[in-house]
Structure 1
Amino acid sequence: MTPAIGLIVLTAALLHALWNALVKGSGDKTVMLGCIALGHVFPGLVMAGLSPLPDLASVPFMIASIMVHWVYFYLLNTAYRLGDLSLIYPISRGLAPVLVAFGAQFWVGESLPVFAWFGIFCVSAGIMILSRSAFTGALPANALLAALGIGVIVASYTLIDGMGVRLSGHAMSYIGWLFTAKLVIVFYVFPTRWERVRAMPTRLLVMGMCGGLISGAAYALVLYAKSIAPLGMVSALRETSVIFAALIGVVWFGEGPKTQRLLSAVVVGAGIAAIAVTR
């Protein structure tokens, strides 16, 4: 992976941590997810309008991606209703890099060198350090299952979009139409929950749409990287968003335990270094 692509993916990871921090305190998570989806639609329309149509071979992958994202949102709502963000998020994101690397090996034919595998496992292990207490009773069983399910779903849409963007013939076009298709989610959430939308403070609604713009920028960067770099390596660097979020908590908000979070950051850092020097 080139330094430029690595920097793009790490920037996306930081943006992902940022928009999660923005929506962390929202009350109505379903409406907030609708606002985030709406924040994807605006840049999607612009990108789709400025790009040629994607190759028809990529359309089934777009449809599959939207369907998988429906399951993702459902599990996300379930998991965060039952368990803490600081435990759910690391579990769900920590599983994805290894699952994506194995999936890309078998379904896309990507063969990674041993050092890259070492980096991917380091990233996943470092992320999972943050949530080890969840496996010893800190999370209800249903919340833990939902978090593990999210990890599988994240790996699924990573592989689906990774293959779709490569078949599209134009990364910006695929990204634009994929984001525009989030209108399906917007039309489902807002009309069916209009009273709840009206009850939310304007500040939170604006925050949600801004979070959607940031989220869209983060995923667009990742999709671009997937079009030219191995999916497993991109996924591993992408999930460093968990570490950014943990370090933000330690440095800015004084959250703990500090030792566990800093150890996690060191392990993930070793994984990033291994991936960075892999060609």
Structure 2
Amino acid sequence: MPTHVLAAILFAAFLHAAWNAALKSQPDTFMAALAVTSGAAVLAALALPFLPAPDASSFPFIAASSMLQIAYYLLLAAAYRVADIGHAYPLMRGVAPVLVALGGGLLAGESLHGAQWIAIGLICAGGAALTLGARGHASGGLRPTALVLLTATAIAAYTLVDGLGVRRSGAPAAYTAWIFLLTGIGIAALSWRRSAGQLPAYLIRHPGLALMGGAATTGSYGIALWAMTQAPVAVVAALRETSIVFATAIAVFLLRERATRARICGAGLVALGAAAVRLA
């Protein structure tokens, strides 16, 4: 993988971990997620008039991805209500690349060679180790893990859809903007009964969360979609999960979750996997 593509994905990974940590730090993760998606939708609407239009053949993928993204955000907010970020984030982000790698061969016809599978395996093994290192601090029971695994499935599904769609679009930036515009509108519509009258006041109290979170999630995924036009979807998806390392650092140093040997080893495996992607 070219160095500039690798560097771009690592930056996207940092952005992703940062906005997830901001979401988790809010007392009401549902309203926080709604604020982030609203901010992303506003930014997308402002950008679209200045971007080249995606090819018409990509719009069915945009529609499908938007529906999957809506499911993802709702599941993410639910997961963060019952599980620590140090448990939920590594598990959901570590499982998704495996599902993408398996689905990519079936749906996109992408075949990976041995070194790429090893790199993906290292990243996913690191995610598993980080999850084990955080289990003692996760909210107990099967429900948190079930929600996290459902979120991982949604991540894999929209990643595969977008890997196919963005290559047809010919315009990764506009493709990304359309997804976030439709996702924001969809989540606001579905959430209206619960959030009626609350969102405007929440946005006034938390403008930074809406704008910075919206910019971070849009930028993070936009970079990833561009990278999918440069490299196999499964490799990009796995490398993007280096966000696990950033999320763990944020959890330990900012959110004061406990550092364990498993977490340290897991972060090392993810970093090693990222290096292997560069060499594969």
Q: Is the 8 A contact 1:39 1:216 kept in 2?
A: no
Residue 5 (structure 1) aligns with: 5
Match of 1:27 in 2: 27
> Which runs of 5 or more structure 2 residues have no equivalent in the other structure?
none
Separation in 2 of the partners of 1:229 and 1:24?
31
* Contact 2:24/2:80 (8 A) holds in 1: no
Aligned to 1:124: 124
- 1:143 corresponding residue in structure 2: 144
Aligned pairs for 1:132-211 within 5 A: 132=132, 134=135, 139-181=140-182, 182-189=184-191, 192-197=194-199, 200=202, 202-211=204-213
Structure 1 stretch displaced more, 41-50 or 146-155? 41-50
What's the TM-score, normalizing by structure 2?
Answer: 0.90
State the distance in 2 between where 1:61 and 1:103 align: 16
* More moved, 202-211 vs 184-193: 184-193
Residue 137 (structure 1) shift: 9.0
Q: For residues 2 and 53 of structure 2, what CA distance do their matches in structure 1 show?
A: 29
Note the alpha carbon deviations across 1:27-81, whole angstroms, 9 max, x for none: 2222211211122123322432122321121111111111112221232233222
CA, structure 1 residues 208+42, in 2 after alignment: closer, same or farther (shift >3 Å)? closer
Q: Are the aligned partners of 2:88 and 2:145 in contact in 1 as well (CA < 8 Å)?
A: yes
Tell me how far apart the structure 2 counterparts of residues 137 and 209 of structure 1 sit (CA, whole Å).
29
Q: CA deviation at 1:4?
A: 0.7
Q: Report the residue type matching 2:238 in the other structure.
A: A
Is the CA contact (8 Å cut-off) linking 1:92 and 1:150 kept in structure 2? Answer: yes
Q: Residues 5, 202 of structure 1: CA spacing in aligned structure 2 closer, same or farther, 3 A cutoff? A: same
- The correspondence of residues 226-245 of structure 1 with structure 2, limited to 5 A, is 226-245=228-247
Asked whether 1:41 is paired with 2:36, we answer no
Q: CA deviation at 1:91?
A: 1.1
TM (norm. structure 1) is: 0.91
- Partners of 2:33 and 2:257 in 1: CA distance: 26
DSSP-derived class of the 2:54 partner:
coil
Corresponding residue pairs, total: 278
CA distance in 2, matches of 1:92, 1:73: 13
Instruction: Give me the whole-angstrom Cα distance separating, in 1, the residues matched to 2:13 and 2:210.
Output: 18
Aligned to 2:227: 225
- 1:189, distance to aligned residue in structure 2 (A): 3.4
Matches within 5 A, 1:71-86: 71-86=71-86
**How far apart in 1 are the matches of 2:192 and 2:64?**
23
1:47–1:172 Cα contact (<8 Å) kept: no
Deviations 1:112-164 (A, max 9, x none): 11011000010011011111264999631122111111111111111111111
RMSD: 2.3
Structure 1 pair 185/250, CA: closer, same or farther in 2 (3 Å)?
closer
Stretch of structure 1 that moved more, 145-154 or 126-135: 126-135
State percent identity of aligned pairs.
33
The correspondence of residues 53-72 of structure 1 with structure 2, limited to 5 A, is: 53-72=53-72
Aligned residue for 2:225, secondary structure, equals helix
> Which is worse superposed, 249-258 or 145-154?
249-258
Distance (whole Å) between structure 1 residues aligned to residue 49 and residue 203 of structure 2: 32
Corresponding letter in the other structure for 2:9: V
CA contact (8 A) 1:83 1:140 kept: no
- AA partner of residue 178 (structure 2): W
Q: Name the aligned partner's letter for residue 77 of structure 2.
A: N
Q: 1:260 to 1:46 in 2, by over 3 A?
A: same
Question: For residues 136 and 176 of structure 1, what CA distance do their matches in structure 2 show?
Answer: 37
Give the structure 2 partner of residue 15 of structure 1. 15
